[in-house]
Chain A
Amino acid sequence: MSISVQNLTKRYGQQVAVDQLSFTAHKGEILGFLGPNGAGKSTSLRMIAGLLKPDSGRVFYGDLDIWEQPQEARRFMGYLPETNPLYLDMYVREALSFYARIHQVSRDTVEQTIEKLGLPWEAHKRIRHLSKGYRQRVGLGIAILHDPSILILDEPVSGLDPNQLADIRKLIRNMATDRTIVFSSHILSEVEQICDRLLIIHRGELKALDSLRSLQAQQDGRQIIVAELEPRISFDQIMEIDSLEHYEPVGENKIRLVARSGRDMRRDLYLWTKAHNVTLLESRVEHTSMASLFEKLTQ
């Protein structure tokens, strides 16, 4: 089941929190929601989850308009809010069983969820006594308990240690095979590793929506190659390369080469080293990092 968001807008007084947001997330896809603090991520996710009514715009789960057929739509959606609200005085198994009964899900499913999330040793504990990471797992368990086709996860990996992170990452990836997942996180490396496509939002406006590679290509503009050459040469000679615009040394034998706009420098570089009997010890195309991509789009 896909999620289709059409012209979603939310205003708080004069301030536009989300402005005409539109996108579609398909089954089997993990869509990463990125944006700086206050960009409108959580507001957007709350509207997509049906917790906040937009001033205008519509959200569809498959063919279901979530504001026209809310009861039907809610059956297909699991949501983990950023604050991860839990009944702290309840036991883990008790809390999961409560939501299972609400969705009329069997006891076996509760046990399977406990197992899946690595909670068997914590199931008999009160949620109050769990660490933040385990509470996050319980929240995730509550979101996936009824096997929803659509999963909206607002900062699901915050507070997890590296081992827990790897487990949850694996779990989310496995779940994505037959679900649509919208995933927000401020940990850029997590989004990079988990998500198939990225949606970058800033001041309520959609800034970018594409795969990481495509976004990097769009932002890179000019090709950058970092090369290590042997023997040491006068770098000025390298300006003979036609497609090279300028260079900057980055070490004794290392050089960063910036191509002219729209030119691919790789072949020229290879031919130049061959012609000058220079050995190319290492060469790699440098992409815009996730962090600088994020910075560029949200400044």
Chain B
Amino acid sequence: MKTILTIVRKDLNRFFSQLTSVMSLVIFYIILGLLLWYMPDIGILDGYYAGLDIYFSLVPILLIFLLPALNMDALSGELAAGTLDLLLIRPVSSFQIVAAKFISGLTIVFIGLLPSVVYVITVYFLANPVGNIDMGAIVGSYLGLLLMIIVFTSISLFASAAVTVPVTALMLAITLCAFWYWAFFLISRLPLFYGAWDYWIQYLGLDFHYKEMGQGLISFASIVYVLSLTYIFGQMTWWRIQNIRYQ
């Protein structure tokens, strides 16, 4: 665990000491803030009731781009620079490397999402009477968001390990995240499946489980689904590191 924490600490220091990395979080909040507070008709201020529905429907779309951007360098950068070689010849296992990169990725996003609590507080005080908001739905949506971040981080790490060019890792991760979020819903709309298999095909998509949690329905199946996806991509990242180690 000490080795994992050492790598996590190094990654966090490197991330927060680089202006470009921090700027990606700032840009995320600028885009999100503009959409939430200034977008006519659907913005929070134009709503009929105090809620964060718009926030929770926009954030997954932004995360499809943000998480791959935050993690694109995690392994591909180290692979390209050769610094991964220096880790591989030390008493550090492939599991420790993957776990450390995963924890670093999650920590960065969680730190990045902390300021969004301000939105909850703002809406809480905007409500009439004060505090008249559906806290259950908000907590459920945050939990859904958390699980989605876990999956997207795992996918982004795999993409970052699969290629040595960070921009290619970014494109691959965006494609994979978008696929797991939207593809199954779109496939279920095909006439071949519509009205027959559409529910079960939608069930395979991340958006289905996220929406379910947003309604306060946190099922065991959804948690198993999310953790399984995370494990599959984590395992593929581990295989890739093993492959590099024993090339």
Across the interface, which residues of B come within 8 angstroms of A217, CB to CB? Answer: none
Known: A77-B89, A79-B89, A103-B90. Is A94-B82 also a contact (CB below 8 A)? no
Across the interface, which residues of B come within 8 angstroms of A99, CB to CB? Answer: 86, 90
Across the interface, which residues of B come within 8 angstroms of A123, CB to CB? Answer: none
Q: Interface on A for B, CB 8 Å cutoff?
A: 49-53, 71, 74-75, 77, 79, 81, 83, 85-90, 94, 98-99, 101-104, 142
Q: Does B246 contact A (CB under 8 A)?
A: yes
Beta-carbon nearest neighbor of B10 in chain A: A98
Across the interface, which residues of B come within 8 angstroms of A89, CB to CB? Answer: 14, 17-18
Across the interface, which residues of A come within 8 angstroms of B246, CB to CB? Answer: 53
21 A-B Cβ contacts within 8 A?
A49-B89, A51-B88, A51-B89, A52-B247, A71-B93, A79-B89, A81-B82, A85-B85, A85-B86, A86-B81, A87-B10, A89-B14, A89-B18, A90-B10, A90-B14, A99-B86, A102-B3, A102-B90, A102-B91, A102-B92, A103-B91
Contact (Cβ within 8 A) B89 A101: no
Across the interface, which residues of B come within 8 angstroms of A87, CB to CB? Answer: 10, 14, 81, 83
Across the interface, which residues of B come within 8 angstroms of A98, CB to CB? Answer: 6, 10
Across the interface, which residues of A come within 8 angstroms of B91, CB to CB? Answer: 71, 74-75, 102-103
State in angstroms the CA–CA spacing of A94 and B83 once bound together. 15
Closest-CB distance, B94 to chain A (whole angstroms): 11
- For window 60-110 of chain B, which residues contact chain A by CB distance below 8 Å? 81-83, 85-93
Contact (Cβ within 8 A) B89 A74: yes
Across the interface, which residues of B come within 8 angstroms of A50, CB to CB? Answer: 89
Across the interface, which residues of A come within 8 angstroms of B85, CB to CB? Answer: 51, 81, 85
State in angstroms the CA–CA spacing of A293 and B83 once bound together. 36
Across the interface, which residues of B come within 8 angstroms of A142, CB to CB? Answer: 86
Closest-CB distance, B186 to chain A (whole angstroms): 41
Beta-carbon nearest neighbor of A46 in chain B: B85
State in angstroms the CA–CA spacing of A104 and B3 once bound together. 9
Contact (Cβ within 8 A) A53 B247: yes
Contact (Cβ within 8 A) B82 A83: yes
State in angstroms the CA–CA spacing of A53 and B242 once bound together. 11
**Which of A50, A74, A87, A102 gathers most chain B CB within 10 Å?**
A102
State in angstroms the CA–CA spacing of A189 and B128 once bound together. 84
State in angstroms the CA–CA spacing of A89 and B18 once bound together. 8
Contact (Cβ within 8 A) A102 B13: no
Known: A52-B247, A71-B91, A102-B6. 18 other contacts (CB 8 A): A51-B88, A51-B89, A53-B246, A79-B86, A81-B85, A85-B81, A85-B83, A86-B81, A87-B10, A89-B17, A94-B13, A98-B10, A99-B86, A101-B2, A101-B6, A102-B90, A102-B91, A104-B2
Across the interface, which residues of A come within 8 angstroms of B87, CB to CB? Answer: 102
Please, what's the 1-or-0 string for B53-65, where 1 marks a CB less than 8 Å from any CB in chain A?
Answer: 0000000000000
**Which of B86, B87, B91 gathers most chain A CB within 10 Å?**
B86
**Which of B17, B82, B90, B246 gathers most chain A CB within 10 Å?**
B90
Across the interface, which residues of B come within 8 angstroms of A103, CB to CB? Answer: 90-91
